[in-house]
Amino acid sequence: MFRLRTIEVIVGLFMVVGFIALFILSFKVSGLTHYVSSKGYTIYAEFDNSGSLKVRAPVTMSGVRIGEVTGIQLDNKTFKARVTMKIEPSQNDIPADSSANIFTEGLLGSNYISLTPGFDEPPQVLKDGSVVQETHSAIILEKLIGQFMFNINKGEKK
């Protein structure tokens, strides 16, 4: 009797731990929680077209994740997409003349921001609230295909 009771308690604890793990996993996968560390600093960049860039998209430099996108708004004065990025505190020496590019992971993957360091002399660095001046917008695949088709049709009419 005691042995059966012990097995039931162990199985019950295993089930509770399993449900807690599924609960945490479901929130993490769904994106309903925001696990961004409050530490770090915020920088901004303005793009003519942000494509399908999403909040929580990675910010990388040389292929290494150094932060993430925390907000995307339309600037009502310039009519550009203003992207807010949270950069890890260990990355506190990014040159101020760096450029920000929106790239796509693979051919049809999600968008992310890649920072390319500049070589300003004397070196100045991005600080909390800095704005990245040089930006390159997302390349929209549908737009490229449309331009290609237009050029083909234009060439056939000659």
Query: Are 19 and 82 in a shared domain?
Result: no
Specify whether 28 is located in the same domain as 6: yes
Q: Quick check: bond before 95 cis, omega within 30?
A: no
pLDDT score of 87:
95
Both 64 and 83 in a single domain?
yes
Number of domains the chain contains: 2
Residue 51 placed within a domain:
yes
Residue with tokens 């331009």: 147
Examine the domain organization and report whether 97 and 48 are in the same domain.
Answer: yes
Confidence of residue 4 (pLDDT cuts 50, 70, 90): confident
Nearest-Å Rg of the Cα atoms of the chain is 23
All residues at 6 or more sequence positions from 115 whose CB lies less than 8 Å from its CB, including other chains:
59, 60, 61, 66, 94, 98, 99, 100, 101, 132
Residue 150 lies in a domain: no
Is 156 contained in some domain? Answer: no
What pLDDT, on the 0 to 100 scale, is given for residue 57? 92
Q: Is residue 158 part of a domain?
A: no
* Same domain (yes/no): 3, 48: no
The answer to pTM > 0.85 is no
Inside any domain, residue 152: no
Residue range 58-113, pLDDT digits in tens:
999 999 999 999 999 999 999 999 999 999 999 988 999 999 999 988 777 889 99
Say whether both 14 and 73 belong to one domain. no
When the pLDDT of each residue in the chain is averaged and rounded to a whole number, the result is 86
Q: What pLDDT was estimated at residue 53? A: 92
Residues 53 and 129 in one domain: yes
- Same-domain check for residues 93 and 114: yes
Tell me whether residue 151 is in a domain: no
| pLDDT higher than threshold 50 for residue 36 | no
Q: Is 146 a domain residue?
A: no
Domain with 52 in it = 41-140
**Sequence-separated (6 or more) residues with CB below 8 Å from residue 145:** none
pLDDT at 21 over 50: yes
Share of the chain above pLDDT 70, in %: 92
Whether residues 51 and 83 fall in one domain? yes
pLDDT in tens, 111-130: 999 999 988 777 788 999 99
Q: Is residue 125 part of a domain?
A: yes
Task: Let me know whether 109 and 70 are in one domain.
Answer: yes
